[in-house]
Every structure is written in C-alpha cells, then in structure tokens.
A and B are shown apart, each in its own frame.
Chain A
C-alpha cells in the first residue's frame, strides 16, 4: 500500500508583525504567521498568541460577583489592578477609560492622562488603551492618552471608520498602534485597513478587531469572519493581514449565563464553572480562528489559555 500523502497548503501571504511596548518597556510582538493557527507542519508561527487583561480606570459597578471575588480591592485602583494582572500572567494590560463615558462619570482628558500615567508607571508590560466607546469622548481621551504614552508604543482603540483620521493621526504622531474595529464583515475590515494606510499609518501599526460575539451570542459569525480574514491574508492579501484582537472577556461576562447566579435554570449548572467556561470557550475558539491578542477578564481564563497555548505552540505539536 502506497504511503498516504497529506495535502499541504502552499500559502503565499503572511500576517504583518506588530510590536507593542519597547523603549525601556518590555515588548510584545504579535503576528508573523504564515499558516493557519497552530498548524506548524505547513508554515511558521513565530509569535505566540497573547493575553491582555482588561483593567478599568474606575471601579466597575455591574460586574459579576465572581470577577469581583477574583480581583478584590484592586478594582478601585487601576495601578494596583494592572500590577496584579501582570502577576496573574497578563502579557498586555488593556486599560479601559470607562470613567469618560457620559453615564459613568463623564471625565475628560485630564483624568485620562492621570490614569494612563499611573498604569504606565505601575507595570513594565505594554498597554492597550480603550476609550469609553462614545465617539466624541473617545477622541478626547484617546488623544490625551496617546500624548502621555508617547514613545511607549501602546495600542489605541477603538478606531472606526468615523474617527479613523483622528486616531491614525495621533498614532502616527506619537508612535502608537491603532485598533481598527468593524462589525463582523470581511470587506469592512479590509476597507478600514486601507483607509488607515491611506492616511499614512504603516501596516505594522494596525491591529484589527473583527467584533466579538460571545459563545451563544454570535460567536459563530466572528469565528467564520476571522477564518475568512486569515485565509485571505495567507492567500496574499496584505490589507487583511493585520493581526487580530478579540474582546472575549467583555462580551462573555456581559451575558446572562455569566452575570447572574440566582434564578437560572438548573441545567445551567454551577455559576462559576459555567461563567468561566463561557469566557474560556469564547476565547479559545477565537484563538483557533486566528486571534493574536485576546482581551479577557478572569485570572482563571488567563491561566488556562496560557497552559493550552503552551501546548499548541510547542514544536512537537
């Protein structure tokens, strides 16, 4: 019987490498893949996918009791929170400037500067900085954050079509990376990358966020759009070849399955077990679809993702 010949895909494209940090700060490089996730036998995977832990600049009021238990007092202090996140194994801190949200404090540029500065001094790993998700406020606090973090090569998000000029300009001026976010659609993702390049941001300064649907809440859409984006990138389309970032933590802990302990169906099982598994399966499925950076919330998820990725990245795999 003849030996079975396993078909090998000959990819022509490669994911761009993006560096965060550096300049005295530890650096993290993501991207560089020339094959599908964890398929070492037909290409190279020079960088491991990494974990960012979400830290907020103001104490979250509506988080699940299990997140509150896991983090304790540090929830009220972004610097202490970031430090603890680093101890738990975060590769990156994703600082969310929620206090600027009109309904959660409506703070402005000054508060953003102060908090970014605090967190930058508390940890020596790279930062992602998110605005509150409200257009005018995003521009205000992200530009301020960009200035404080000048030279530290942080990632700024979210950058959408409507504010891409502002975010790209500040990234170019201060040497940062933009996170382009589009609603689960391959052409929109590509289009935003083109727009960002057109205004002068270099390819190695863009991450793309395809928009995360949590397990049971649109995961399958995100999963497939990511597979398509990655296949396009490996097929040679440089405008879909930006490393991908997903927000598994925020999306899964927002859902009823994770949030509520009381009055849920018995078949949902133990609350902590179910909630953690919800975040972990969301995160892991999206790593399997090509995510390079996963933003999560629970320390248990960080531990488990690291253990599993270690095994998937070992060359013998």
Chain B
C-alpha cells in the first residue's frame, strides 16, 4: 500500500538540512508520496528507515520481467480489483506452448508462425508474446535440443517447463542469458530450482495446488533464499476454480497487501478446455480476471485476433479512450482536388474510416475533430461533435488552403448536422456520407466529383 507523506515523514531524519533539494524533510516526504522523487536523494536516511519505506512503497503485486531485450514480458504491478477503480496496467503475456516430444519441423513451423504473427487494431500492432517449452519427453537431451531450436527461431521470451532440476540446469546453461521463466519450483524440487534461479538470475514460477497457505509457504521458502522474481501457479485449471483462485490471490495482494502472494499468476487454459474454442474462452476469462501469463495450447489467427482485441479492450485506461490528435490526415497521396471527409478523434472511429478510405483506393483528406476521444454518435450526443466544432476545426487547420474544392463529407450518422453546418460554413457544400465506414468506397465512386 502506498504511504502518505506524513507516514513517510516519520521515517526521515527531521533535520531539514535541505541536501535533498527541498526546504524541509516534510516537503521531501510529500514529493516522495507523490512518487515524484527517489528516496536516495536524502543521504541521511537510516538503513532501517530505508527498508521500512521501500517495503511499504512496494507495489502490492511485484512487477516481474520475463525475457531480456525489447520483447520482454513485464507483468504485475496491478493495484485494483476492477478496472473502473483505476486501470489495469500490464496486459497478460500470451505464450504458446510447444512440447519437446513433438517433431522438430512441426515445432519450428509453429514457432515461426506465432512469432511472425501480428495484427493491427486502432493503429496498434498486436502480437503474441513468447513460448513455453515443455519437457514432455522427460529426456534432458531432447529438451535442450528443443529449447535451442525455439530460441534459434525467435527472440521472444521463453518459459522452460520441467520439474527435473538437472534437465532445467542443462537448458539454462544454453539460454539463461535470455532470462527465461523457470517453471516450476514445487514442494519436492524447490531447493534445487531456487539455486538455479539464483545462479542464473532468472524468474522462478512456484507451483503448489494444495491451497493458498501451502502456496504462500513455498513462496516464502523460495524468497527466503533470495529469489525476488516469482510467478505463481495456484494449480487451479478449470473455469470455476481458476476464477475463484485468481480472484482470491488478487484480493490477498491488493486488499490485504499480503506479500507472499503478491506476484503475477501463470495460467494454462488448454489443460481444462475440451477444445480450442473453450480454451479461447477460458483464456478470455483469465485476461479479465487476473492472469499475468497465459500459456496457450492452440494457436490460430482466427482465435488470436479476438483474444488480443479483448486484452486491448480490458487493459485500456477507462479514464482515457485511445485517441488521435486532431488535424488533417492524408489517406494515400491526396491531391488538392481529392475528397475531404470529417470524423472524430476516437481512435476506433478514425481507424475504421481511415482503413476503408484506404482500401477504396481513392486518395483522400481526413479531417479529425477533437471530440475528446468519443465516437461519432457518442460525441454528437455529448455535444462534442457539432456544427460549430466542425467549422472551427476546418478553419483551425486551414483546410480551405489544402483542398481546391469546397465540399466536405460528414459521417452518415450525423446527417442532422447538415443544416447548421451550412450556416457555419456558407462557402462549403455539405455532403452526407454513408452511416457505416465500409460503404464509403462505393459512396465516393458514386457521389464524388470535385
């Protein structure tokens, strides 16, 4: 839990020596509470105070990094149960599992396909995040071969799955510098796995299906030895138990600040699902309800795209729609005589219409009004997309100098604005486009002549 300025002040030297750059210890404490400065600016805090302050200012769920380099997965650091309470910060990583018992060419093909997959939505590139490699063969040589194969095909983060610490050790010798997640320490092997995690400085998953108390105890064993980056596997697999377990873990962490369970959670929806469709639904449940890493056993674009979209939706800040900056955008390479369309600055709206204009093959100008990130009808009913605002935007961005004609196309859903806009922009001809973006190509072919 975050501390208040007063609580922090109690731990400071209270000498007001100003060396931190603030006039008083209290002023510094207030800045610390607002997370605007670092504690290290004060040279005089006691070690004791330092520990107390650091522990207290630690987020309820530790931020854990898997992998190294640009594509690393960062999960944890969540502070609420419900996204409307603030927001969810770190979207769960989608990781695809391969098994070392499968033929190498099949594994290679799948890895190439998953790693190369990317789909665009509202101008954001959505991708899968990594691979889990399972030592199903129980053979160390096979495992190492498979791990090497996968890491030769991708830079995405890896999860190494084996409960045999000697097998794990062989694989880590090859890929530890890529900081894979070690899956997993359990009641029997935790000492050896902990040693490996410490030796290679890799994050460690802790698996204990017996219950919360048992899981917490095992985590404390592991962290007691010095491992800091932990991922939890409470063992529950099916829809109901997974929902209950993950909810309880999140509550313990964010409502009770219960440290031993304040870590991101890994899930395996494929292990409980009867088929790929069910797996997608269970993965969806876990996106909304508290997973940090989701290991998938099926991959297909037709399923990855909706799941990635769901993740984008759930992890969008509820206070701030994804939006564009207002202005005039070029679609294709428009000329002064090309058509001029108007839309709002909600990203979803912008990309819907921009995408259709682009695929119509007709280069055009797209004027984006500042509607505070609201869609066409939402903005219209909130009074943020009216004739006055559109006229102002036309003037603000000197549209009359950009285009040689005087015609502007409105979204069909706000056809009612025509009259008022004719008054606001007397030199312009106001045209009404179709209500849905996908019709815009046909509309332009039929109605546009500059």
Question: A residues engaging B (CB < 8 A)?
Answer: 1-4, 6-7, 38-41, 183, 215-221, 223-224, 227-228, 231, 256-257, 260, 263, 265-274, 276-278, 280-281, 284-285, 288, 304, 307-308, 311-312, 314, 316-317
Contact = CB atoms under 8 A, between A and B. Distances in A.
Interface string B235-252: 000111101100110011
Contacts of A269: 300-305
Contacts of A41: 244
A225 to B, nearest CB: 8
Q: For A267, A268, A307, A316, which residue has the most chain B Cβ atoms within 10 angstroms?
A: A267
Interface in B264-312: 274, 277-278, 280-282, 284-285, 288-289, 300-307, 309-310, 312
B348 interface: yes
B255 interface: yes
A38 B119 contact: no
B51 interface: no
A277 B84 contact: no
B309 A215 contact: yes
B83 A268 contact: no
Contacts of A256: 438
A183 B240 CA distance: 31
**Max chain B Cβ within 10 angstroms of own Cβ: one of A40, A281, A307:** A281
30 contacts: A1-B213, A7-B248, A38-B243, A215-B306, A215-B313, A216-B312, A218-B375, A219-B310, A219-B313, A220-B314, A223-B83, A224-B318, A231-B82, A267-B119, A267-B305, A269-B301, A269-B302, A269-B303, A270-B301, A270-B302, A273-B302, A274-B305, A276-B277, A280-B280, A285-B284, A288-B285, A288-B289, A304-B281, A311-B239, A317-B239
A312 B284 CA distance: 14
A220 B316 contact: yes
Contacts of A272: 302
Contacts of B274: 307
Contact of B82 (A216, A221, A224, A317): A224
B137 interface: no
Nearest to B381: A183
Interface of B: 82-84, 117-121, 211-213, 216-217, 220, 238-241, 243-244, 247-248, 251-252, 255-256, 258, 260-261, 274, 277-278, 280-282, 284-285, 288-289, 300-307, 309-310, 312-314, 316, 318, 348, 359, 375, 381, 438
SS class, residues of chain A in contact with chain B: helix
Contacts of A278: 306
- Nearest 10 A/B pairs, CB to CB: A317-B240, A269-B302, A269-B301, A273-B302, A267-B119, A220-B313, A274-B302, A270-B302, A4-B212, A224-B84
Given A4-B216, A216-B313, A312-B243, A281 B251 contact: no
A7 B251 contact: yes
Nearest to A6: B248
Contacts of A316: 240
Nearest to B281: A284
A282 to B, nearest CB: 9
Contacts of B281: 280-281, 284, 304, 308
Contacts, number: 155
A219 B84 CA distance: 13
Nearest to A305: B281
Given A231-B82, A256-B438, A317-B240, A39 B247 contact: yes
A223 B288 CA distance: 10
B348 A217 contact: yes
A191 B29 CA distance: 44
A216 B309 CA distance: 6
Contact of A266 (B280, B301, B309, B312): B301
Contacts of B258: 4
- Most chain A beta carbons < 10 A, residue from B239, B247, B280: B239
Contacts of A268: 119, 301-302, 305
Given A4-B213, A38-B240, A284-B284, A277 B278 contact: no
Given A217-B348, A307-B278, A316-B240, 18 more contacts: A4-B212, A4-B252, A6-B212, A6-B251, A38-B239, A216-B121, A220-B316, A224-B83, A267-B119, A269-B301, A269-B305, A273-B300, A277-B277, A278-B306, A288-B288, A307-B274, A317-B241, A317-B243
A223 B314 contact: yes
A281 B304 CA distance: 12
Contacts of B247: 39
A256 B243 CA distance: 31
Contact of A267 (B83, B288, B301): B301
Contacts of B381: 183
B239 A281 contact: no
B239 A265 contact: no
Nearest to A278: B306
A215 B312 CA distance: 10
Contacts of B261: 4
B169 to A, nearest CB: 29
Contacts of B289: 288
Nearest to A314: B240
A1 B211 CA distance: 13
A314 B239 CA distance: 10
A274 B308 CA distance: 12
Contact of A260 (B121, B211, B438): B438
Given A4-B212, A216-B313, A220-B83, A281 B306 contact: yes
B278 A317 contact: no
B102 to A, nearest CB: 22
Contacts of A1: 213, 216-217, 220
Contacts of B248: 6-7
A314 B120 CA distance: 39
Contact of B284 (A6, A220, A281): A281
A260 B301 CA distance: 16
B280 to A, nearest CB: 6
Contacts of A284: 281, 284-285
A183 B377 CA distance: 11
Nearest to A263: B359
B154 to A, nearest CB: 17
- Name, among A183, A266, A284, the residue most crowded by chain B CB atoms within 10 Å (CB to CB): A284
A41 to B, nearest CB: 6
A1 B381 CA distance: 58
Contacts of A220: 83, 313-314, 316, 318
B403 to A, nearest CB: 28
Contacts of A308: 239, 278, 281-282
Contacts of B300: 269-270, 273
B280 A277 contact: yes
Most central of B213, B243, B261, B305 by chain A CB within 10 Å: B305
B303 A273 contact: yes
Nearest to B283: A281
